[in-house]
Amino acid sequence: MPSNLKNKKVLIGISGGIAAFKICELLRMLVKAGASVRVVMTESASKFVTPLTFSALGAESVSTSMWDPGRDSLEHVSWADWADLFVIAPATANIIAKMAAGIADEVLSTQLLAYDGPKLVAPAMNVKMWNNFATKRNIKTLKEQGIELVGPTKGHLASLIEAEGRMAEPTEVYKSIEKILQSKADLEKYRILVTAGPTVEPFDPVRFISNRSSGKMGYAIAEIAKDRGARVILVSGPVAITPPSGVELVNIETADQMLKAIEAKYKYIDVVIMTAAVADYKPKIYSRQKIKKTKSDQNMLMTKNPDIISTLAKRRGRKILVGFALETQNLKAAAQKKMLEKKLDMIVANNPTLKGVEFGSDCNKASIFVKGKRATDLPTMTKSDLAGKILDEVIKLLKRKKK
Ligand code: C5P
């Protein structure tokens, strides 16, 4: 294994589960790759594997209790400052619950609460515990805090049944560690807000007007930006896809709610990327009761939604504003016009009626327009690859603005 984690500091938190034995292999892989590793174990974890095993396998230090005589009295803070990454593996339902609630009542949970860097959680538990409502809610809370997860996978559990709850294999955990520690961190200093999906504009409690946006483009941008080190806030309309872990998710339905959600964060944001398909109009009247069918035709009165990105452009400061233009004809001219009218730094133009890049597709074919530069026409590529290209341009704009 190449020594590609040289000088990286990894703190492994082991909680009490039989999968603790897998950490022996993980620790060896990390040490071989050049990482410095410290281990912090709960009391129950040390019933499965002894602390000595981890010291013998190359851990710099192993902490098992708040009350070790040889322990530095500020260890819970100094270790937290030391680490580049805190890996919690195996993570039991109990430690996950403590993380979600902010409980610090033993050595591992105390270190976790004192640590504000990136965390990677590898859950391992019985399938019923994994499917328990409380665990699901706690996992959701962790994801919302930007904490990364790896696994669990489906396979033989300690109870010998085949179900979800098995800790990811050490090689998988290692890959996630590598990904976090080696990411191209060129967006590290920046906070990026991405909007995605459709907005939904209701006109009675059961009906609404919306559009076909899948949210895939915005979710891909959010994920790649996060992988490149940005703090990402994803403001999303209702979509059927899973949000990337490690981003702050804000769910909204209407355009008004989207604007409000962005405004609440706007002050702290460096870049706004609006991929959302915001409904241009909303029903003028909202009926509190379901509208009854009648024998005659019906007209619906519509009123304009706020143009979110134009509203933001009025108070932009040094922020970079990126829009998307979705056109089925005269794509380029319309995109360029939109960029100027909405006072954007950049606009990404695409036509969802082209073959292979239809609504909901994993691919896209786009042209990127940057203010003051010639347009770049890109070939068809995955939405993740396109996200990378968009972010490359965003970086250039951020650097240009700084000068
Ligand atoms: O005007 P049009 O909808 O084509 O503009 C597209 C761009 O403007 C997208 O980036 C979209 O997210 C944004 N937009 C907005 N508020 C609206 C409509 C569109 O911010 N009400």
Same domain for 197 and 152?
A: no
Same domain for 236 and 364?
A: yes
- Alpha carbon distance 393, 403 (integer Å): 16
Residue 13 CA, ligand 1 centroid: distance in Å: 45
Task: Indicate if ligand 1 lies below 6 Å from the C-beta of 308.
Answer: yes
DSSP state of 168: P
Same domain for 83 and 196?
A: no
pLDDT at residue number 302:
97
**What would the mean pLDDT of 268-280 be, rounded to a whole number?**
97
Indicate whether 2 belongs to any domain: no
CATH code of 42's domain: 3.40.50.1950
Task: Indicate if ligand 1 lies below 6 Å from the C-beta of 274.
Answer: yes
Q: Looking at the predicted structure, is the pLDDT value of residue 75 above 70?
A: no
pLDDT at residue number 288:
96
pLDDT at residue number 188:
87
Same domain for 27 and 54?
A: yes
Q: Looking at the predicted structure, is the pLDDT value of residue 143 above 60?
A: yes
Residue 145 CA, ligand 1 centroid: distance in Å: 28
**What would the mean pLDDT of 307-311 be, rounded to a whole number?**
96
CATH code of 242's domain: 3.40.50.10300
**What would the mean pLDDT of 68-94 be, rounded to a whole number?**
82
* Number of domains observed in the structure of the chain: 2
Same domain for 127 and 215?
A: no
- Alpha carbon distance 363, 356 (integer Å): 7
Same domain for 171 and 252?
A: no
Same domain for 72 and 197?
A: no
Among candidate residues 142, 160, 181, the one where a domain is terminated: 181
Q: Looking at the predicted structure, is the pLDDT value of residue 70 above 70?
A: no
Whole-prediction pTM value?
Answer: 0.63
Indicate whether 309 belongs to any domain: yes
Residues 6+ apart with CB under 8 A from 321: 271, 272, 274, 309, 312, 313, 342, 343, 344, 345, 346
**What would the mean pLDDT of 228-248 be, rounded to a whole number?**
94
Indicate whether 144 belongs to any domain: yes
Average pLDDT, the chain: 91
Cα end-to-end span (Å), the chain: 42
Strand 153-156 versus strand 162-166 pairing type: antiparallel
Task: Indicate if ligand 1 lies below 6 Å from the C-beta of 307.
Answer: yes
DSSP SS3 for 91: strand
User: Looking at this protein, which amino acid is placed at residue 64?
Assistant: T
Q: Looking at the predicted structure, is the pLDDT value of residue 67 above 90?
A: no
Among candidate residues 181, 207, 230, the one where a domain is terminated: 181
Same domain for 104 and 132?
A: yes
The percentage of the chain sitting over the pLDDT mark of 70, rounded to a whole number, equals: 95
Same domain for 114 and 222?
A: no
Q: Looking at the predicted structure, is the pLDDT value of residue 77 above 70?
A: no
Among candidate residues 181, 204, 229, the one where a domain is terminated: 181
**What would the mean pLDDT of 326-345 be, rounded to a whole number?**
92
User: Looking at this protein, which amino acid is placed at residue 85?
Assistant: L
Query: Is residue 357 within 8 Å of residue 363, measured between CB atoms?
Result: yes
Indicate whether 239 belongs to any domain: yes
Q: Looking at the predicted structure, is the pLDDT value of residue 1 above 60?
A: no
Indicate whether 254 belongs to any domain: yes
Q: Is the dihedral of CA 396, 399, 401, 403 positive or negative?
A: negative
| Residue with CA closest to ligand 1 atom 2 | 325
Indicate whether 4 belongs to any domain: no
Atom of ligand 1 nearest to the CA of 347: 10
**Residue recorded with tokens 């891909």:** 220
> Which of the four pLDDT bands, split at 50, 70 and 90, describes residue 183?
low
pLDDT at residue number 327:
86
Task: Indicate if ligand 1 lies below 6 Å from the C-beta of 276.
Answer: yes
Residue 342 CA, ligand 1 centroid: distance in Å: 9
Structure tokens at 354: 């082209």
- Alpha carbon distance 335, 325 (integer Å): 6
> Which of the four pLDDT bands, split at 50, 70 and 90, describes residue 403?
low
Cite the DSSP H helix spans in 156-210.
170-182
Pick the catalytic residue from 126, 132, 211, 351.
Answer: 211
**What angle in degrees, to the nearest 10, is found between the helix axes of 383-402 and 216-227?**
60
**What would the mean pLDDT of 384-391 be, rounded to a whole number?**
92
Ordered strands of the 346-350 beta sheet: 248-251, 231-236, 191-196, 271-274, 320-326, 346-350, 366-370, 376-377
Same domain for 209 and 281?
A: yes
Same domain for 168 and 204?
A: no
Indicate whether 127 belongs to any domain: yes
Angle at 19 between CA 147 and CA 81, to 5 degrees: 40
Same domain for 374 and 304?
A: yes
Q: Looking at the predicted structure, is the pLDDT value of residue 171 above 90?
A: yes
Q: Looking at the predicted structure, is the pLDDT value of residue 339 above 70?
A: yes
Beta bridge partners of 302: 283
Q: Which helix (H) or strand (E) holds 259?
A: helix 255-266
> Which of the four pLDDT bands, split at 50, 70 and 90, describes residue 3?
low
Q: Count CB neighbours of 9 within 10 A.
A: 17
Question: Residue 265: which domain range?
Answer: 191-402
Indicate whether 186 belongs to any domain: no
The percentage of the chain sitting over the pLDDT mark of 90, rounded to a whole number, equals: 71
User: Any catalytic annotation for residue 211?
Assistant: yes
Residue 277 CA, ligand 1 centroid: distance in Å: 7
